[in-house]
């Protein structure tokens, strides 16, 4: 992978991205971060536009596909896809444990899915469903402000993955990191898993009905996950 390309880590929430972020921060020094809410994200990402874009090595954040179009640089994306039921369970109990974005202390997963949180429904597909030339249509401010308000499009998501991404799968994390590191020329692959919540229930502890509801609300993410798993397995054959 040419070093002149900006590496963009599209960190989909609750897909083991905090661990990958630590690896990336060992490899690159000039990084623009897309975390912290609209104002902070906009300030951090706009800082590298214009004259400073030439020095930018990497972009990291909860930023969907399309952020590259605001910088006049060659680019390459990386991301991780997670089994949707596990991701939603992890998301809910992370929010519950950290008391973030929940209207009461424990509303339950079913109510969470049905009423309160857009990040629990096909978010992985949403993150991948934008056009490649987004800057021609949407300002950076609006891109950040409305980043979760897009219709998930599985066909476009898979096409974007094929054309612009190196993708890993959380279930195959160690193998994914090795493959990703080999492709991108990373030298420092020592890591410990971060941001893990050991107190959350396992998928096997949930009722069949609740699991089916999560799958129903994430039907496109289920197909995206299957695609990503098959891609990793095909790469392993050549490893």
Nearest Cα neighbor of 9 from 90, 158, 129, 127 is 127
By the 10 Å C-beta count (0-12 exposed, 13-18 middle, 19+ buried), 191 is classed as: middle
Mean pLDDT, to the nearest integer, of 153-159?
A: 97
Q: What is the pLDDT of residues 62-109, one digit of tens each?
A: 999 999 999 989 999 999 999 999 999 998 888 887 765 655 567 788
pTM across the whole model: 0.90
- Tell me the per-residue pLDDT of 179-214, one tens digit each, with 9 for 90 and over: 999 999 988 777 666 666 666 777 888 899 999 999
Confidence class of residue 51 from pLDDT cuts 50, 70 and 90?
confident
Is the model's pLDDT at 112 over the cut of 50? yes
The predicted structure's pLDDT at residue 236: 78
pLDDT band for position 123 (50/70/90)? very high
pLDDT for 223 beyond 60: yes
| Mean pLDDT for all residues in the chain | 88
The fold of 6-237 is: Rossmann fold (3.40.50)
Report how far residue 8's alpha carbon sits from residue 70's, in angstroms, rounded to the nearest whole number: 12
End-to-end CA distance of the chain: 17
Assess whether pLDDT exceeds 80 at residue 122.
Answer: yes
> CB–CB of 217/151 below 8 Å?
no
- 15, 93, 146, 180 from 112: Cα distances, Å: 19, 11, 21, 34
Please check the confidence at residue 128 and state whether its pLDDT lies above 50.
Answer: yes
pLDDT the model gives residue 108: 83
User: What confidence score (pLDDT) does residue 1 get?
Assistant: 40
What is the pairing mode between strands 6-10 and 31-34?
unpaired
pLDDT of 145 above 50: yes
pLDDT at 237 over 80: no
What tens digit of pLDDT does each residue of 1-35 get? 435 899 999 999 999 888 899 889 999 999 999 99
Q: Sketch the domain layout of the chain as residue ranges.
A: 6-237
């Amino acid at each position: 992978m040419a070093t002149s390309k900006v590496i963009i880590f599209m960190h989909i929430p609750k897909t083991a991205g905090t661990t990958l972020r630590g690896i990336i921060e060992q490899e690159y020094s000039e990084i623009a971060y897309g975390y912290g809410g609209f104002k902070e994200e906009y300030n951090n990402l706009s800082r590298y536009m214009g004259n400073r874009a030439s020095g930018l090595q990497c972009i990291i954040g909860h930023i969907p596909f399309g952020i590259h179009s605001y910088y006049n640089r060659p680019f390459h994306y990386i991301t991780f896809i997670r089994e949707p039921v596990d991701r939603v369970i992890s998301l809910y109990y992370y929010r519950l444990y950290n008391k973030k974005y929940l209207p009461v202390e424990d509303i339950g997963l079913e109510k969470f899915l049905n009423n309160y949180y857009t990040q629990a429904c096909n978010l992985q597909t949403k993150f991948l469903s934008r056009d490649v030339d987004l800057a021609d249509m949407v300002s950076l401010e609006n891109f950040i402000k409305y980043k979760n308000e897009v219709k998930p499009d599985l066909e476009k998501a898979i096409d974007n993955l094929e054309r612009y991404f190196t993708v890993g799968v959380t279930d195959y994390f160690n193998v994914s990191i090795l493959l990703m590191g080999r492709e991108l020329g990373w030298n420092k692959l020592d890591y410990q898993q971060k941001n893990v919540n050991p107190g959350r229930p396992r998928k096997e502890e949930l009722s069949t009905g609740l699991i089916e509801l999560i799958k129903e609300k994430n039907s496109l993410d289920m197909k995206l996950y299957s695609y990503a798993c098959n891609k990793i397995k095909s790469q392993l054959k050549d490893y």
